């Protein structure tokens, strides 16, 4: 006999639960009004709720890399300069995620600047429907791997650390800078060793028992993202190293190979740092990094020959460069005690006709700390402070140090409108 009550009970227990639409989202908000609108829009449309946190540097650092984030929504309604604020936090955001900035600046320049960074822009105020439609549109572009939308423009910032001569400490500075950007600034970094047979990048980074990855000509034909990943050494979750060598390829072919690998990996990290020490006769003309580089750190020592070579390199860079936004940071690394120096900082600035942006003082104990696998920027040694200032300058952050040289020279005028 059919039991209606029993049938209803069973039906209740076996009710089909409708899965929520899942768009892995994290919201960093400034106002409760925006937070409420985003949460209600997701809830009303049956989309899995976003992770929500205050828009602060610490909160972004804690939440943005915890899970498989697809879309990051950043509210900047309280910001006086939306473009500038977005640029300051861009190094904290994973490149694989699409970023939507919500702001109240109604200016074409803001949209243009954010698009150049690879960010989408939503003008506030918005309705719940406008928000969810925009989020779904961005998500659809991701699924289709569409070339539409600014998100496709996001790539790592390229920083090249160049030594004017061998032995000026370019590798040391590159290693310390990668540590500061990853450990202190919480940005993902790929360090590229452009010295294919010599160099001490592994020692400077405190990596033990590390061997360069050997490649050969035939590997280039089968190079894909998976193979490129296998060539990296991952020091930790935010810091990786690419160091290649070959028994059959010359340095120019290895450079092309290295660049091809970096192209495949650049979308996975916030920064690509190149160690371009001159100890192996590194030639600027042969490298394509000038065309895609965002910042060059030119390192010299307080000697006549080093400063002269730095001036020649600067002139070469200036001649090759065609970008208005390329920045050149001059660093004086005091590798010798004052008694052994052949010129002063003032002499170097007079010869270069420009201020030195960062000066790193001589430290007798430096090599002992490095060989003991200690990061200099983490110590109380004199070079620690200017190294931290260098990281801040690279990120465009203002420093509290009054003596910090505020103006970096670039090779064109940047449009700040």
Share of the chain above pLDDT 90, in %: 49
Higher pLDDT, 225 or 283: 225
- Statement: residue 51 has pLDDT above 60: yes
Q: Which residues contact 321 (CB under 8 A, 6 or more apart)?
A: 290, 411
Q: pLDDT by residue (tens digit) across 381-394?
A: 999 999 999 999 99
User: Which of 32-36, 128-132, 240-244, 281-285 has the lowest average pLDDT?
Assistant: 281-285
The whole-number pLDDT of residue 276 equals 85
- Statement: residue 322 has pLDDT above 80: no
Q: Which residues contact 211 (CB under 8 A, 6 or more apart)?
A: none
CB atoms within 10 A of CB 239: 23
| H-type alpha helices, 344-383 | 345-352, 366-371
pLDDT band at 287 (very low <50, low <70, confident <90, very high): low
Share of the chain above pLDDT 70, in %: 84
The answer to whether the CB of 357 falls within 8 A of the CB of 190 is no
Among 90, 226, 68, smallest CA distance to 142 is for 68
pLDDT band at 225 (very low <50, low <70, confident <90, very high): confident
Written as one string, the DSSP assignment of 160-173 is: EEEESSTTSSHHHH
Q: Are strands 213-214 and 71-75 parallel, antiparallel or unpaired?
A: unpaired
Domains of the chain listed by start with CATH number: 21-153 (3.40.50.2300), 157-395 (3.40.50.300)
CA-angle at 148, arms to 142 and 149, nearest 5°: 80
Among 81, 29, 87, 36, smallest CA distance to 55 is for 29
C-alpha distances out from residue 402 to 346, 389, 415, Å: 18, 12, 26
């Amino acid at each position: 006999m059919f039991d209606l009550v029993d049938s209803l009970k069973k039906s209740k227990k076996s009710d089909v639960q409708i899965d929520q639409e899942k768009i892995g989202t994290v919201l960093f908000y400034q106002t409760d009004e925006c937070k409420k609108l985003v949460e209600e829009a997701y809830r009303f449309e049956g989309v899995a709720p976003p992770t929500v946190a205050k828009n602060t540097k610490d909160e972004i650092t804690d939440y943005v890399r915890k899970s498989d984030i697809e879309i990051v929504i950043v509210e900047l309604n309280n910001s006086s300069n939306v473009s500038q604020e977005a640029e300051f936090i861009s190094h904290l955001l994973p490149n694989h995620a699409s970023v939507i900035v919500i702001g109240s600046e109604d200016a074409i320049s803001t949209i243009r600047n954010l698009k150049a960074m690879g960010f989408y822009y939503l003008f506030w105020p918005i309705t719940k429907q406008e928000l969810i439609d925009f989020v779904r549109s961005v998500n659809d572009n991701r699924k289709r791997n569409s070339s539409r939308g600014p998100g496709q423009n996001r790539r790592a910032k390229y920083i090249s650390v160049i030594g004017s001569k061998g032995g000026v400490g370019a590798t040391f500075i590159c290693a310390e800078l990668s540590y500061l950007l990853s450990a202190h600034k919480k940005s993902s970094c790929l360090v590229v060793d452009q010295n294919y047979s010599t160099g001490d990048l592994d020692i400077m980074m405190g990596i033990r028992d590390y061997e360069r990855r050997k490649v050969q000509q035939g590997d280039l034909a089968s190079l894909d993202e998976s193979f490129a990943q296998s060539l990296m050494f991952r020091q930790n979750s935010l810091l990786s190293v690419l160091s290649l060598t070959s028994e059959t390829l010359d340095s120019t072919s290895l450079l092309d190979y290295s660049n091809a690998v970096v192209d495949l990996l650049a979308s996975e990290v916030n920064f690509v740092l190149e160690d371009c020490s001159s100890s192996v006769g590194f030639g600027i003309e042969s490298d394509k990094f000038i065309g895609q580089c965002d910042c060059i750190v030119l390192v010299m020592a307080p000697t006549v020959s080093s400063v002269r070579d730095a001036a020649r390199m600067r002139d070469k860079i200036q001649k090759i460069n065609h970008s208005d936004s390329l920045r050149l940071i001059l660093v004086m690394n005091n590798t010798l005690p004052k008694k052994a120096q052949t010129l002063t900082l003032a002499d170097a600035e007079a010869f270069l006709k420009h201020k030195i942006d960062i000066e790193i003082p001589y430290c007798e104990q430096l090599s002992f700390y490095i060989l003991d696998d200690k990061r200099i920027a983490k110590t109380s040694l004199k070079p620690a402070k200017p190294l931290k200032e260098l990281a801040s300058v690279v990120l465009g952050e203002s420093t509290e140090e009054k003596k910090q040289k505020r103006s970096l020279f670039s090779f064109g005028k940047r449009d700040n409108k």
